[in-house]
């Protein structure tokens, strides 16, 4: 059952089309992230759901009700902003109570709900403080409490973690997700941070140029990117251009030699294709080790120590430079710079990107 | 963005803006039209001719220009080194200097000049008002006091923007003497602020009435009041001229404040490429 | 090396530093001397004089003299005129600023009126009075225009040279000043607050009552006091409009200095002190309110 639906929604600002033909169907209680670089239209989608922008075309439904032209204060949504947007003249409790008072709830009920919300976000004792007396993380917790206090149908999060310190960002995202699960509230989350999108979401929508490039579970997005943009935007990636020699056998001719995909490809022979390989999928082979998969030959250019991971830069024979990630515990086995190396890869871990 | 949705709501703001614009425009237009009516039955610039040809006007105007110029010079010499020194060496004194500088905003000029006249009057310890020169000096001092808030704020803001402490340290590590630092590093960077303060001072002092009148100076302000009592059309012409002059001064001030390093003083002769 | 230089350094450095600091004070002597001579001493002289007899003895008679009917009436007139002018200026300036900043007026209009306000707020004094005489004087453009439409403005009791005429003239620099000083506060109202309120179900009026209004209130009050002080000290415009017939306090003091009336310098000192006190009180209120406004802006 679709709870929130965007049907062929477009938005123009003057001559600029910011969102084009955007479709999305959310289930009740689902957490979906809109992920993309700045200017991809993700915030505009969120603001159209909130009612701050009106779609130029298309339709938005919540619980089967068409809300496209409805004013924001009629939609029963909750929203969190990057800048917290707490009312500076109201105390923490006053901020959380705002939506409840506007809705005309009796005083006792307001007080009880405010207390419940502050307990939930872990700010029980701070109801009497003013926003300027709180840290950024605390302010955003108040904003969360304020947004969910009136029991909205949909929770909209506009980069709520971007202004926070790295540590608080991680702890707060866990907390937001936990509260969202506990309340079962349908949530749309806008971010440019792929780690946030991957860790928090049921599904991720990767956007570019006002369109949804791919909609899928985080694993799908990462392991099976549908477009070159998705593949390049998420995670690090090695690209190897080539020509399709044999579609049925999946044979691709590249500068560093033939590569067998070991699966049929639905493209004509002679088509230009690009192979995409994640750095962590490549494995450094010991000098005499045999492999059942494909083996790239080259020599080591550089090594960077990143803590848990050591990132190698390998010059492939007659080919491009690849990044290779090894675990720190393999550190002892890593050859010296300039030494000849071999990199092993299972054919199914190669993604074929179409031009 | 919010507004595009609510086109209907723009009528209110548009009406308010229109009413305000009308209120601002009508007196200027009325003065302008009135100033053209000196000759019966036809439009003419006689009122302007009559004003500009008068020796009394010229003398009063020149006197006020000289007094304002002197006030600007004294004000700059007083404020710039003080503001620099306080920022660099005596930050604890800043609130005191700032308070003193803003005091003339609170004290009406009539009160100020009253105190000065009594303090420097004929039988005081420093009888400035007994000689012409002394009275002129007192007038300039009064103008410096009057413009102190504006000059100090302009210069201090200018210094805040360039972080003079770091610039001074940078110049000193490169071997520059204190004087050289001030002349070649600090001054060029706050020149725009000084110029903007100077124009503001000029626009305040040029038509100033109270101090000049109470010190019996034949300045532009008292001249205008006298003219207003004696004539009908010339005052309107003066109002238009004054407004034009104020506008010009404010425009120059804006231009000075927004001028970027390397940019020419005239908008159409820019040397620096725009970003 | 370090050990040998350590001791002497420790013993001389503070002394040298203190000497430096004492020398550093010399840098502000010209400024302080000027301020003392031409700003602080004259004020001090007036304040002392307000409590002295002409012979130099202490007295409260001068201050008590402020209660004399004509002087008290002057103060009351000044205060009423300044309150009225400040109130009208505050309301109209706020409306204009709201229309320009939040009402979605085109940018050129906003820039134009802001630039004009910079000029108009400095266009006080004598020329302003002339412009208004040409507008609303007995032969002014608007007066004549209204007469042509069958509406005699002066028959209604209105006069440019009366209380409301002055208030209307003051508005020409009060409204622009309000626009200039309230603009930062209005721009400080974050659009997100409005959006947050709307997403929580609040209507426009509810937002203004619960958030926008309370956030703006200290700034508006502060600006009101600034306008009040501005009007209270206005003298040149009044003289150019009414000669010396409209006895607000600055006019009274002006005539007192000229020796036209009263002719008791010590009562003049008291008059000056009265003005200073009113300005000080209104400015203290302004500072207190501004501090409150800034607390929220953090």
Query: What tens digit of pLDDT does each residue of A312-329 get?
Result: 999 999 989 999 998 888
Q: At A59, is the pLDDT very low, low, confident or very high (cuts 50, 70, 90)?
A: very high
Among A106-120, A237-251, B164-178, C241-255, the range with the most confident prediction by mean pLDDT is A106-120
For C185, residues 6+ apart whose C-beta sits below 8 A from its C-beta are C216, C219, C220, C293
Residue with tokens 């009539």, as numbered in its chain: B110
Question: What residues have CB less than 8 Å from C6, skipping those under 6 apart?
Answer: none
| Model pLDDT for residues C125-152, shown as the tens digit of each residue | 888 999 999 999 988 999 999 999 988 8
C-alpha span between B142 and B111 (Å, rounded): 11
pLDDT at position B269 is 46
> What CATH number is associated with residue C259?
1.10.3720.10
* pLDDT tens digit sequence for A136-167: 999 999 999 999 999 999 999 999 999 899 89
Name the pLDDT band for A193 (thresholds 50, 70, 90): very high
Check residues B250 and A41 and name the one with the higher pLDDT: A41
Q: To the nearest whole number, what is the mean pLDDT of chain B?
A: 85
What is the reported pLDDT for A82?
Answer: 92
- Measure CB to CB from residue B17 to each of C96, C135, C253 and give the nearest one: C96
ipTM of this model? 0.84
Q: pLDDT digit string (tens) for C172-193?
A: 999 999 999 899 889 889 999 9
Inter-chain touch C197–A50, beta carbons under 8 Å: no
Q: How far apart are CA C208 and CA B121, in angstroms?
A: 56
CB within 8 Å: B1 and A54: no
Of the pLDDT bands very low, low, confident and very high (cuts 50, 70, 90), residue B9 is low
Order the strands of the A238-246 sheet from edge to edge. Answer: A257-260, A251-254, A238-246, A272-277, A351-354
Mean pLDDT score of chain C? 85
- Helical H segments across B90-131, by residue range: 94-106, 109-119
Q: Which residues contact B121 (CB under 8 A, 6 or more apart)?
A: B127, B129
The per-residue pLDDT for A213 is 92
- Residue B3 banded pLDDT, cuts 50, 70, 90: very low
Contact criterion met (CB below 8 Å) for A7 and A61? yes
What CA dihedral angle connects A53, A59, A62 and A64, to 10 degrees?
A: 160
Domains of chain B by residue range? 46-258
Residue C198 inside a domain? The answer is yes
Confidence band (pLDDT; 50, 70, 90) for C86? Answer: very high
Backbone φ, ψ for residue B212 (5° rounding): -60, -40
Q: Does residue C93 lie within any of the structural domains?
A: yes
- pLDDT tens figures, A102-125: 999 999 999 999 999 999 999 999
Extract long-range pairs of A110-117: CB within 8 Å, 24+ residues apart: A113/A149, A114/A145, A114/A149, A117/A145, A117/A146, A117/A148, A117/A149
pLDDT at C7 over 50: no
Helix/strand/coil for C289: helix
User: Residue C293 domain-assigned?
Assistant: yes
Residue A182 makes CB contacts below 8 A (sequence gap 6+) with none
pLDDT value for C15 = 52
Domain B46-258 has CATH 3.90.950.20: no
Q: What share of chain A is helix, strand, coil (3-state, %, to 5)?
A: 30, 35, 35
Q: pLDDT band at C261, cuts 50/70/90? A: low
Q: Does A28 touch chain B (CB under 8 A)?
A: no
State which residue of chain C sits closest to A98, comparing Cα positions.
C200
Q: pLDDT tens for residues B55-87? A: 999 999 999 999 999 999 999 999 998 998 898
Q: How many residues does chain B have?
A: 275
pLDDT at residue B260 tops 70 = no
Checking if the pLDDT of B5 tops 80, the result is no
B1 touches chain A (CB under 8 A): yes
Q: What is the pLDDT of residue A336?
A: 85
Q: What is residue C282's predicted lDDT score, i.e. its pLDDT?
A: 86
Of the candidates A192, A180, B2, A32, the one whose C-alpha atom is nearest the C-alpha of residue C197 is B2
Taking CA atoms, C58 is separated from A76, C48, C167, C266, C269, in Å, by: 73, 9, 39, 11, 13
* Percent of chain B clearing pLDDT 70 (strictly above): 91
pLDDT for the residue numbered B177: 84
For residue C9, what pLDDT is reported? 41
pLDDT of residue A65 exceeding 80, the answer is yes
Residues of chain C that touch chain A, judged by Cβ-Cβ distance less than 8 Å: 190, 192-193, 195-203, 206, 210-211, 214-215, 295-298
> What integer is the mean pLDDT of A260-266?
85
| Contact with chain A for residue B3, Cβ under 8 A | no
In this complex, is the C-beta atom of A11 within 8 Å of any C-beta atom belonging to chain B?
no
Q: Does residue A176 register a pLDDT over 90? A: yes
pLDDT at C102: 86
Instruction: Enumerate domains of chain A plus CATH numbers.
Output: 2-233 (3.40.50.300), 238-354 (2.40.50.100)
Which residues of chain B make contact with C116, given a CB cutoff of 8 A?
24
pLDDT at C14 over 80: no
Does residue B272 register a pLDDT over 70?
no
Residue A50's closest CA among B11, B10, B1? Answer: B1
Q: Identify from A49, A54, A72, A187 which residue to disrupt to test chain C contact, counting C C-beta atoms within 10 A and taking the largest count.
A: A72
Which residues does chain B have within 8 Å of residue A53's beta carbon, measured at their own beta carbons?
Answer: 1, 5
Domain that holds residue C111: 61-297
Report how many domains make up chain C: 1
């Amino acid at each position: 059952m679709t709870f929130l639906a965007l049907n062929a929604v477009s938005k123009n600002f003057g001559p600029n089309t910011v969102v084009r033909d955007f479709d999305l169907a959310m289930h009740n209680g689902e957490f979906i992230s809109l992920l993309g670089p700045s200017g991809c239209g993700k915030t505009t989608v969120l603001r159209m759901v909130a009612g701050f922008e009106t779609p130029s075309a298309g339709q938005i439904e919540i619980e089967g009700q068409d809300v496209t032209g409805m004013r924001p204060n009629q939609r029963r949504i909750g929203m969190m902003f990057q800048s917290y947007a707490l009312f500076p003249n109201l105390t923490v409790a006053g901020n959380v109570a705002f939506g409840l008072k506007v809705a005309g709830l009796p005083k006792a009920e307001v007080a009880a709900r405010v207390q419940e919300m502050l307990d939930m976000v872990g700010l029980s004792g701070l109801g009497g403080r003013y926003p300027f007396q709180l840290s950024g993380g605390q302010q955003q917790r108040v904003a969360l409490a304020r947004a969910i206090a009136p029991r909205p149908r949909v929770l909209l999060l506009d980069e709520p973690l971007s202004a926070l310190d790295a540590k608080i960002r991680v702890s707060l995202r866990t907390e937001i997700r936990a509260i969202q699960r506990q309340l079962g509230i349908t949530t749309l989350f806008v971010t440019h941070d792929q780690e946030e999108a991957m860790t928090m979401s049921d599904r991720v929508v990767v956007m570019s140029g006002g369109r949804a490039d791919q909609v899928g579970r985080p694993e799908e997005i990462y392991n099976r990117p549908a477009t070159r943009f998705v593949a390049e935007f998420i995670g690090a990636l090695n690209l190897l251009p080539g020509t399709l020699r044999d579609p049925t056998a999946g044979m691709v001719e590249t500068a560093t030699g033939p590569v067998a995909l070991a699966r049929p490809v639905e493209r004509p022979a002679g088509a230009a294709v690009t192979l995409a390989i994640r750095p962590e999928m490549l494995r450094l082979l010991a000098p005499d080790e045999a492999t059942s998969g494909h083996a790239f030959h080259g020599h080591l250019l550089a090594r960077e120590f990143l803590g848990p991971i050591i990132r190698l830069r390998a010059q492939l024979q007659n080919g491009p430079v690849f990044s290779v990630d090894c675990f720190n515990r393999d550190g002892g086995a890593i050859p010296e710079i300039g030494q000849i190396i071999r990199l092993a890869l299972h054919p199914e871990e190669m993604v074929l990107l179409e031009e | 963005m919010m507004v595009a949705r609510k086109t209907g709501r723009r009528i209110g703001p548009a009406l308010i803006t229109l009413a305000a614009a009308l209120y601002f425009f009508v007196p200027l237009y009325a003065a302008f039209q009135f100033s053209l009516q000196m000759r019966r039955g036809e439009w003419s610039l006689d009122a302007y001719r009559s004003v500009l040809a008068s020796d009394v006007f010229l003398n009063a105007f020149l006197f006020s220009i000289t007094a304002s110029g002197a006030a600007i010079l004294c004000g700059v010499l007083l404020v710039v080194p003080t503001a620099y020194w306080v920022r660099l060496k005596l930050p604890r004194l800043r609130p005191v200097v700032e308070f003193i500088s803003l005091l003339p905003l609170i004290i009406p000029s009539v009160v100020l000049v009253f105190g000065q006249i009594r303090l420097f009057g004929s039988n005081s310890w420093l009888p400035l008002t007994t000689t012409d020169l002394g009275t002129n000096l007192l007038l300039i001092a009064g103008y410096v006091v009057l413009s102190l808030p504006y000059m100090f704020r302009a210069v201090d803001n200018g210094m805040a923007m360039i972080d003079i402490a770091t610039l001074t340290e940078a110049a000193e590590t490169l071997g520059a003497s204190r004087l050289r630092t001030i002349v070649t590093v600090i001054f060029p960077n706050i020149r725009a602020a000084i110029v903007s303060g100077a124009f503001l001072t000029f626009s305040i002092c040029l038509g100033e009435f109270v101090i000049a009148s109470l010190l019996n100076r034949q300045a532009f302000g008292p001249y205008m009041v006298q003219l207003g009592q004696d004539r009908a059309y010339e005052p309107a012409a003066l109002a238009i001229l004054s407004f034009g002059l104020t506008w010009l001064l404010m425009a120059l001030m804006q231009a000075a404040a927004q001028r970027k390093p390397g940019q020419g003083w005239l908008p159409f002769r820019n040397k620096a490429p725009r970003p | 090396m370090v050990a040998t230089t350590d001791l002497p350094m420790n013993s001389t450095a503070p002394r040298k530093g203190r000497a430096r600091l004492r020398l550093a004070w010399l840098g502000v002597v010209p400024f302080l001397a000027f301020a003392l001579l031409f700003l602080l001493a004259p004020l001090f002289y007036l304040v002392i004089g307000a409590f002295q007899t002409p012979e130099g003895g202490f007295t409260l008679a001068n201050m008590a003299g402020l209660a004399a009917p004509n002087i008290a009436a002057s103060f009351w007139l000044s205060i009423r005129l300044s309150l009225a002018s400040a109130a009208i200026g505050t309301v109209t300036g706020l409306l204009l600023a709201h229309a320009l900043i939040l009402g979605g007026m085109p940018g050129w209009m906003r820039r134009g009126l802001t630039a004009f306000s910079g000029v108009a707020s400095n266009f006080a004094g004598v020329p302003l009075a002339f412009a208004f005489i040409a507008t609303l004087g007995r032969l002014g453009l608007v007066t004549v225009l209204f007469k042509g439409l069958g509406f005699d403005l002066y028959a209604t009791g209105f006069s440019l040279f009366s209380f409301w005429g002055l208030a209307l003239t003051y508005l020409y620099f009060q409204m622009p000043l309000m626009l200039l000083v309230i603009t930062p506060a209005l721009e400080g109202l974050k659009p997100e607050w409005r959006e947050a309120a709307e997403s929580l179900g609040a209507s426009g009026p509810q937002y203004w009552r619960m958030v926008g209004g309370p956030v703006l209130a200290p700034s508006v009050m502060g600006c009101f006091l600034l306008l009040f002080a501005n009007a209270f000290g206005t003298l040149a415009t009044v003289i150019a409009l009414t000669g010396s017939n409209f006895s607000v306090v600055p006019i009274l003091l002006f005539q007192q200095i000229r020796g036209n009336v009263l002719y008791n310098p010590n009562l003049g000192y008291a008059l000056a002190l009265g003005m200073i006190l009113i300005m000080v009180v209104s400015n203290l209120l302004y500072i207190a309110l501004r501090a409150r406004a800034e607390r929220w802006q953090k």
